Each structure stands twice: as structure tokens, then as C-alpha cells.
Amino acid sequence: MKNLLIVMSGPSGVGKGTIVRELMKKGDFALSVSCTTRKPRESEIDGVSYFFITKKEFEKLIGEEGFLEYNKHFENYYGTPKKFVQSQLESKNVILEIDVDGALQVKKSNPEAILIMIAPPDKEALRSRLQARGSENKMEIEKRIARMEYELSLSGQYDYVVINDVLAECVKKIEQIILKEKEKYND
């Protein structure tokens, strides 16, 4: 049985992290841990939330073609380590939680990847969520909102768009998508 490469994107603060955690509880998925050069937030743990590495280390890995995809935004690099994804795919469905540019890079090199966009029910709701998180200042929040417009404008290139209004329903919809794709893939 073949395993799926599931790529989830969505604007910052849309609740991707919570959705992914719920999916992980319900199914046998491997979650790819990305590398980043941004500083850890208070609650984040190295090796769990991200591998927090230096710019120099990141650029070395780029040179070694160690990333399935990578992107730079808000002055920081983010990338998906290639080795982990390839080895996990042999036994499990793998979830990547990455931005739109990275997702489209993955789709190009792995056309069988399933791209799922998580969208907010409305922008104001997302703005409130970002503000409630309190880890960014006002200017950063505005930058992230502009970024949200950009990310959502690329939804058309995704295989599925799921709105995160009620969490349980959103998770259920994603589970149904995965089931359907798995059946299709293994026909």
C-alpha cells in the first residue's frame, strides 16, 4: 500500500497546528519537523516545533540539496528536510505543514502530493487570533495579514480548501479527504 504525502498550508494563526495535532491523535501519520532560522517562541521546543538552526547551517544544507523544499520569509529560512520525509513515507502517511510557496515546490517535484489549504472563516477572526497569540508586535501582525491575502490567493492551485470554522468538523473533513485519496491512490 502506498502512503500519502499530505501538504497542509494556511495563513499564520489559522489553526493549522491544532488541526495537525488532532489528526496525529487519530491516525498513523509522521509529521515532518522543519528547519528554521527564526528564533523559538516561548512555548516551542527544539526538535519538536522546529529544528532551530543558524543561517550558516541552513545554507550549508541548501548546498547539499538536503531540503525537499525551502523558502525565506520575514527574513528567516524555513525548509523541509528531505531525508526524514523519504524514509517515513516508506511506512506512513507524512504530513508537511508548510507555506504556499513551499507547497507548490513540493507539488512540482512530487505531483502525487495532496495539497490542502486551511482557510479562516473570515479575516477578522484571524486577526483576533493573531492578536490573542501575543507573540508578535503590531507591525508583524500587519505583515502576516498581508501574507494571508497572498497565501489565500493561491488556494486555486491546491487540491482542497477546508475552512477552519468548527475545529472538529474541519478535522473530520480532512480525514475524509485523506481516506478518499488513499483509496484512489491504492486502486
Residues forming the site for ligand 5GP (CB under 6 A): 12, 34, 38, 69-71, 78-80, 97-99, 101-102
CB of 169 to ligand 5GP, least distance (A): 22
For residue 167, count other CB atoms closer than 10 A to its CB.
12
Query: What is the DSSP secondary structure assignment for residue 156, as one 8-state letter?
Result: G
Name the CA radius of gyration of the chain, rounded.
16
CA–CA dist 147, 105 (Å, integer): 18
CA–CA dist 92, 159 (Å, integer): 21
Rounded to whole angstroms, what are the CA distances from 140 to 107, 136, 137, 154?
A: 29, 6, 5, 21
CA–CA dist 135, 160 (Å, integer): 30
CA–CA dist 155, 71 (Å, integer): 18
